[in-house]
């Protein structure tokens, strides 16, 4: 074909002699757009709009196809609407479990998001030398928007270094008063109940155990962290409206974690004025202000060294900014999650009289045999088999952190549950599906039955234990507060059941429960009486 023929304006022919319609190239579209711009502005807007819509549709199709071999709701495969909707309804963990029950151990819940109920996948991702990294989901969990913390930090090297500086403080190796601090705050809780919430035949004093349980964990972690409690139990009041504000703000953070780009925009310096700040008089900002002032005082040259967590962090090299970020994280992470397990255990015990009496009998017999002190020591509690079974079962029934904790698949991709998953995909955990798995825990996995932990099949019990331990994560992302939490659990139930009798005020609606990354108990009213009282 000659050059002249190539430039001929005549239409090319197709078999049968009909003229084919020429396909417009990029230059034709540009020319059309330029003509439109020189003509009607509405025509130009139409073309630009059409190009944007076409680009969006093409992008959506490509995103859908990339993970189309993974089952899940169609709506979730093309947008984040599904996961946002379930989060707003406070039922994301339950919805994820239903998907796993229906589709298997790997399901798709977003254009680039998967969750798994296979605990071996989680262990693989969390190994110390794993190539998996934290995904953008963590960006929304900067509790202080001006800085990262150990939980939100995604830089692997920085995270490892910061964690190494904090390990001794969390383990209790440099805070020898850890056990005493927990005992002191249990005494404060007992004293509060004695003063204000003992019911008799003549006087009815219902108590919201959901609130008091969190008052207890807030005072424990603040005293461990700063050397003195924030005073929730002493004042029997929501200091700084912390619970009220976090009840509103944590759900918002959960939604932002579903749309990490939006979280980064809101936390940018241009919009940061909309977020809580340390100069606020109440709420989360006031809480940040309190912790910042405590930390600042510790960095003054004339402040003596203290044997608490903050003192340990400073001795191991945390600077003031790092210490401030971790102080806020300690309070939030250390109070909400522990409070969940304490409230869950008491709720299930009061709803299950045989389990309640069995634990109380074990406690009474241990006291009579001189096997436990008053208050009980952590080492003594570990020797009470039914107590340990109740603790494990409560953790299992309601895993305290119900978030997805997305990790990013390494660039080369990976095979997960028999399916290839391309690099850059976010893979999270389905906590309820993992801890209610019938293959691991038996056909009655949905039921609270501490006796399952007393099974004589050691291999089965060990498999259950290893699974429940994943509540605290493992490897490079293991929860540093595990030691503190388990010590709280080992002590509080013994002290509450040895002194008081507990019953639900409203058995049919014992508590209002919803999830926003952590479980929220509202209106969890109980009736408390003294043991061996005729009143």
pLDDT, tens only, 513-529: 988 778 889 999 999 99
**Contact (CB, 8 A) for 253 and 84:** no
Instruction: Give the integer Cα–Cα distance in Å for 256 and 267.
Output: 11
pLDDT higher than threshold 60 for residue 411: yes
Instruction: Give the integer Cα–Cα distance in Å for 358 and 360.
Output: 6
User: In this predicted structure, what is the pLDDT of residue 32?
Assistant: 53
pLDDT higher than threshold 90 for residue 47: no
* Number of domains comprising the chain: 1
The residues, ordered by sequence, that sit 6+ positions from 10 with a Cβ below 8 Å of its Cβ are none
User: In this predicted structure, what is the pLDDT of residue 26?
Assistant: 46
Name which of 238, 210, 458 is nearest 346 in CA terms.
Answer: 210
In a domain, 178, yes or no: yes
User: In this predicted structure, what is the pLDDT of residue 333?
Assistant: 84
Per residue in 265-290, pLDDT (tens digit) is 877 777 766 676 777 776 677 778 88
Pick the more confident residue, 173 or 494.
494
Residue with tokens 């959901």: 210
**Of 220-234, 413-427, 471-485, which one has max mean pLDDT?**
413-427
pLDDT higher than threshold 60 for residue 487: yes
Name which of 253, 257, 262, 258 is nearest 110 in CA terms.
Answer: 258
User: In this predicted structure, what is the pLDDT of residue 223?
Assistant: 92
User: In this predicted structure, what is the pLDDT of residue 10?
Assistant: 39
pLDDT mean over 156-165: 93
| Three-class DSSP category at 87 | helix
pLDDT mean over 452-472: 96
Instruction: Give the integer Cα–Cα distance in Å for 162 and 319.
Output: 10
Task: Report the predicted TM-score, pTM, of the whole model to 2 decimal places.
Answer: 0.87
In a domain, 106, yes or no: no
In a domain, 297, yes or no: yes
In a domain, 254, yes or no: yes
CA 501, 396, 402, 472 dihedral sign is: positive
Q: At residue 157, what are phi and psi to the nearest 5 degrees?
A: -65, -45
Pick from 127-131, 321-325, 495-499: least confident: 321-325
Pick the more confident residue, 183 or 402.
183
User: In this predicted structure, what is the pLDDT of residue 285?
Assistant: 74
pLDDT higher than threshold 50 for residue 4: no
pLDDT higher than threshold 70 for residue 14: no
Instruction: Give the integer Cα–Cα distance in Å for 269 and 292.
Output: 19
Question: Model confidence at 394, in pLDDT bands (50, 70, 90)?
Answer: very high
In a domain, 280, yes or no: yes
- Other Cβ atoms less than 10 A from the Cβ of 29: the count is 12
User: In this predicted structure, what is the pLDDT of residue 267?
Assistant: 76
pLDDT higher than threshold 80 for residue 134: yes
pLDDT higher than threshold 50 for residue 315: yes
Instruction: Give the integer Cα–Cα distance in Å for 318 and 142.
Output: 18
Per residue in 191-203, pLDDT (tens digit) is 999 999 999 999 9
Domain residues for 140? 132-387+439-454+471-530
Task: Give the residue ranges of DSSP H helices in 352-448.
Answer: 353-368, 378-381, 385-397, 431-435, 438-441
Residue 245 CA to its chain's centroid (Å):
17
User: In this predicted structure, what is the pLDDT of residue 22?
Assistant: 45
479 is in an annotated binding site: yes
User: In this predicted structure, what is the pLDDT of residue 35?
Assistant: 57
Residue-averaged pLDDT of the chain: 87
pLDDT mean over 147-160: 91
CATH of residue 171's domain is 1.10.630.10
pLDDT mean over 17-46: 54
In a domain, 345, yes or no: yes
HSE of 259 in the Cβ direction (CA atoms, 13 Å)? 16
Pick from 101-115, 314-328, 493-507: least confident: 314-328
**Contact (CB, 8 A) for 426 and 135:** yes
Q: DSSP for 194-223, please give it.
A: HHH-B--SS----EEHHHHHHHHHHHHHHH
Q: At residue 505, what are phi and psi to the nearest 5 degrees?
A: -75, -45
In a domain, 314, yes or no: yes
pLDDT mean over 420-441: 97
In a domain, 142, yes or no: yes
**Contact (CB, 8 A) for 413 and 264:** no
């Amino acid at each position: 074909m000659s050059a002249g023929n190539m430039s001929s304006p005549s239409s090319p022919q197709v078999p049968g002699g009909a003229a084919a319609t020429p396909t417009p190239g990029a230059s034709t579209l540009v020319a059309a757009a330029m003509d439109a711009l020189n003509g009607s502005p509405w025509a130009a807007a139409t073309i630009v709009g059409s190009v944007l819509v076409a680009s969006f549709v093409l992008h959506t199709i490509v995103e859908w196809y990339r993970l189309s071999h993974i089952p899940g709701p169609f709506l979730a495969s093309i947008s984040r609407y599904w996961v946002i909707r379930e989060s707003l309804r406070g039922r994301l963990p339950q919805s994820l479990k239903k998907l796993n029950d229906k589709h298997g151990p790997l399901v798709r819940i977003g254009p680039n998001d998967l969750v798994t109920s296979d605990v071996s996948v989680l262990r693989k991702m969390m190994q110390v030398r794993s190539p998996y990294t934290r995904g953008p989901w963590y960006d929304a969990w900067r509790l202080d928007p001006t800085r990262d913390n150990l939980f939100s930090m995604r830089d692997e090297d920085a995270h490892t270094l910061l964690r190494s500086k904090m390990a001794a403080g969390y383990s209790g190796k440099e805070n020898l008063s850890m056990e005493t601090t927990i005992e002191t705050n249990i005494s404060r809780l007992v004293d509060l109940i004695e003063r204000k919430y003992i019911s008799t035949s003549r006087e009815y004093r219902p108590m919201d155990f959901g609130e008091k349980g969190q008052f207890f964990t807030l005072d424990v972690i603040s005293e461990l962290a700063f050397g003195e409690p924030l005073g929730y139990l002493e004042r029997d009041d929501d200091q700084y409206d912390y619970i009220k504000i976090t009840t509103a703000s944590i759900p918002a953070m959960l939604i932002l974690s579903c749309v990490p780009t939006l979280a980064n925009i809101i936390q940018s310096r241009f919009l940061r004025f909309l977020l809580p700040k340390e100069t606020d008089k109440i709420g989360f900002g006031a809480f940040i202000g309190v912790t910042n002032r405590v930390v600042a005082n510790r960095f003054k040259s004339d402040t003596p060294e203290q044997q608490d967590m903050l003192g340990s962090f400073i001795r191991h090299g945390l600077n003031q900014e790092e210490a401030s970020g971790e102080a806020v994280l300690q309070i939030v992470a250390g109070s909400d999650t522990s409070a969940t397990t304490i409230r869950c255990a008491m709720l299930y015990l009061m709803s299950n009289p045989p389990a309640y009496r069995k634990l109380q009998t074990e406690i009474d017999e241990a006291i009579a045999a001189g096997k436990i002190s008053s208050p009980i020591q952590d080492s003594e509690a570990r020797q009470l088999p039914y107590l340990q079974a109740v603790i494990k079962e409560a953790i299992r029934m309601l895993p305290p952190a119900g978030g997805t904790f997305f990790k990013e698949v390494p660039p080369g991709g990976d095979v997960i549950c028999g399916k290839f998953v391309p690099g850059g995909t976010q893979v999270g955990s389905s906590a309820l599906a993992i801890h209610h798995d019938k293959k691991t825990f038996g056909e009655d996995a949905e039921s609270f039955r501490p006796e399952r932990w007393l099974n004589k099949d050691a291999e089965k019990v060990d498999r259950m234990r290893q699974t429940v331990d994943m509540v605290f994560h493992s490897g490079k992302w293991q929860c540093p507060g595990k030691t503190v939490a388990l010590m709280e659990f080992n002590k509080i139930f013994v002290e509450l059941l040895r002194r008081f009798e507990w019953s639900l005020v409203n058995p049919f609606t014992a508590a209002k429960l919803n999830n926003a990354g952590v479980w929220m108990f509202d209106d969890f009213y109980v009736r408390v009486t003294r043991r061996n009282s005729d009143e």
